[in-house]
Chain A
Amino acid sequence: DQQVKQNSPSLSVQEGRISILNCDYTNSMFDYFLWYKKYPAEGPTFLISISSIKDKNEDGRFTVFLNKSAKHLSLHIVPSQPGDSAVYFCAASLGGSQGNLIFGKGTKLSVKP
């Protein structure tokens, strides 16, 4: 049973527009969430994180929103750039920022010029 779900396998967005990637989770005990980006033939790279005590974290063009009541988080990329084209993984932890990570299946984002 998937504890972290990314229900959209792919997303296509025009350059300059907003990309919204969604993630749902089932375990209300998760207390730390992360987004990773992965290019082909490379390992995932950390993008942004959020603690369960917050509902928003922003870093440049990237913002993560957390809705604990809905067990839902989203990653917003504004404006989207062709270099953002990659697979994005949502991950959750039970042990704060040091806990083991449980990953979703990923969403492939394509940003078209």
Chain B
Amino acid sequence: EAGVVQSPRYKIIEKKQPVAFWCNPISGHNTLYWYLQNLGQGPELLIRYENEEAVDDSQLPKDRFSAERLKGVDSTLKIQPAELGDSAVYLCASSGRLAGGPNEQFFGPGTRLTVL
């Protein structure tokens, strides 16, 4: 079974430039999450989707961050304009009810963003 796919794996941009991250969740998983992970910290939730609906975006800085999940499958996370403090790893995760199992989240490898 293919895991969560993210691209690009690494991105270096100058401040004030826009940047976008893409995520393809595990097939059949209807819940998709975007997390931010700063160095030495655990992942912090930015937004959670149930199918195409954003059910929790309370931690998403909406002045510069936006996300979409068209058709309830792939998702993109955008930052415009990027700031120096946005340098971090952006993780995508997905989950779906498995028969008899917990609804644990499966993470992609992340995109490491460096803003210069």
Contacts and interface: CB of A to CB of B under 8 A. Distances in A.
A50 B31 CA distance: 21
B102 interface: yes
Interface residues of B, number: 23
A46 B4 CA distance: 13
B104 A97 contact: yes
Taking residues whose C-beta sits less than 8 angstroms from the other chain, chain A's interface range is 20 to 34
B53 interface: no
B43 A103 contact: yes
A49 B101 CA distance: 11
B103 A42 contact: no
B42 interface: yes
B109 A42 contact: yes
A106 B37 CA distance: 11
Interface in A13-41: 32, 34, 36, 41
A100 B31 CA distance: 11
A104 B102 contact: no
A69 interface: no
A80 B31 CA distance: 34
B106 interface: yes
B93 interface: yes
Given A43-B91, A43-B93, A97-B102, A89 B108 contact: no
B109 A106 contact: no
Interface of B: 4, 31, 33, 40-45, 48, 56, 91, 93, 95, 102-110
Interface of A: 4, 32, 34, 36, 41-46, 49, 89, 91, 97-98, 100-106
